Amino acid sequence: MIAEKLGVSSATVSMGLRSDPRLQAETIARVQAAAAELGYDPHYHDAARRLALHRRGKKYLNRVVALHTPTVVGSRYFSLIYEGIASQLAAEGYSLLVNTPVEPEPHPIELPAIVSRGEVDALIAMSAPEHLRPLVRRLRSTPGFRDRPVVAPFYVVPGCGSVYSDDQLGAYQAARHLLELGHRQLMCFAFDSFPHQLRLRGLQQAFSEFGLAPDKCLHRMRPYPGWSASEALPANLDNGLSRQEAVEHPFIHYLREHPQITALLGANDASVLSAWRVLHAAGARVPEDLSLVGFDDVDPLPGPEQDNMLNSVRIPLQELGREAARMALGMISGELPAESRVVLPT
């Protein structure tokens, strides 16, 4: 109808609706004005256009990126990354499709059907490698998605772009700071994931530079159950533990058995704040009895003047989200390779 009304070809109409720069601005304006006048909805014809392009071996640009994330609103950590992704995509005229599992992450990851149908241009997946690797293999064998970009924040996964923070440098700087203050034995909360492996390297480097044996001076352990969850943190140091319960906690027992430990580096801020609350309930003093350093700068502990009493290694979460979005867009346009990698400073 638009082509007949304007006396132009259907190809010109298609280019005009997409604001193709090969057309003159006046022609684009005429096409879009006619479309509005006739009540033309381009989205109604998307499926047919996508099928036609697929038959010709071409891709249809949806201007939509999918995000798989454990949560958006339940965690400040993930919400900051989401804000970075969403703001960057919006600035480039892209929409964001968010997929969050109802239950803790299953295996395999389940994504909306529109992802496998190719109705998104890329996927940003915040998931552990053991879940992400089979998902990528599945998508690569799905005709609708096939070779579309996948970006994996935090991890290096074959076939994916990777964006992560320099946790090795952050841990190294934190350890150097503590060692320069005179600490010689450090407890470190850590998991077995890639970011925590990087942190371990940084810690080992710092201890070695001070002539200290990491295997003797570094006490590495997993956070106690529930200690890494920001949403479980009380608003202040009073966490409902009695003094008796606190002094019997395994954390306090370990410190008593290893009195040479004078500092703690957390897996994240929440794990350190959980430790602080147990120390407080047990009557221990921070930093006099134990110095504490968080890792992410997400969960502050407001002091009397509302300043943050917790020292923390900052992970640039919003920028990490923006960089993941920029990488996805660069891979969509072909400007970046499929396994691009960006490391952000902490």
Residue 56, pLDDT score = 47
> Is the separation of the CB atoms in 127 and 84 below 8 Å?
no
How many angstroms separate the CA atoms of 79 and 303, rounded? Answer: 24
Q: What is the DSSP string of 199-228?
A: HHHHHHHHHHHTT--HHHHEEEEPPPTTTT
Is residue 53 pLDDT above 50, yes or no?
no
> Is the separation of the CB atoms in 346 and 176 below 8 Å?
no
CATH code for the domain defined by 167-315: 3.40.50.2300
Report which of residues 55 and 123 the model is more confident about.
123
Residue 49, pLDDT score = 53
Is residue 239 pLDDT above 80, yes or no?
no
Q: Which residues contact 192 (CB under 8 A, 6 or more apart)?
A: none
For residue 145, what are the CA distances in angstroms to 86, 250, 271, 320, 328? 22, 49, 39, 25, 14
> Is the separation of the CB atoms in 313 and 174 below 8 Å?
yes
Average pLDDT over residues 52-65: 68
Class of domain 64-165+318-344 (CATH, top level): alpha beta
What are the start and end residues of each CATH 1.10.260 domain in the chain?
2-40
pLDDT digits (tens, 9 = 90+) for 242-297: 999 999 999 999 999 999 999 999 999 999 999 999 999 999 999 999 999 999 99
Average pLDDT over residues 315-320: 98
Bridge partners (DSSP) listed for residue 292? 264
Is residue 59 pLDDT above 70, yes or no?
no
The helix/strand/coil state of 99 is: strand
Nearest of 62, 49, 46 to residue 94 by alpha carbon: 62
DSSP 308: B
**Cα-to-chain-centroid distance, residue 64:** 19
Average pLDDT over residues 154-167: 97
What are the start and end residues of each CATH 3.40.50.2300 domain in the chain?
64-165+318-344, 167-315
How many angstroms separate the CA atoms of 38 and 41, rounded? Answer: 9
Q: Which residues contact 173 (CB under 8 A, 6 or more apart)?
A: 202, 313, 346
150-164, 229-243, 280-294, 323-337 — which is least confidently predicted? 229-243
Is residue 57 pLDDT above 60, yes or no?
no
> What is the rounded average pLDDT for all residues in the chain?
90
How many angstroms separate the CA atoms of 37 and 60, rounded? Answer: 25
CATH code for the domain defined by 2-40: 1.10.260
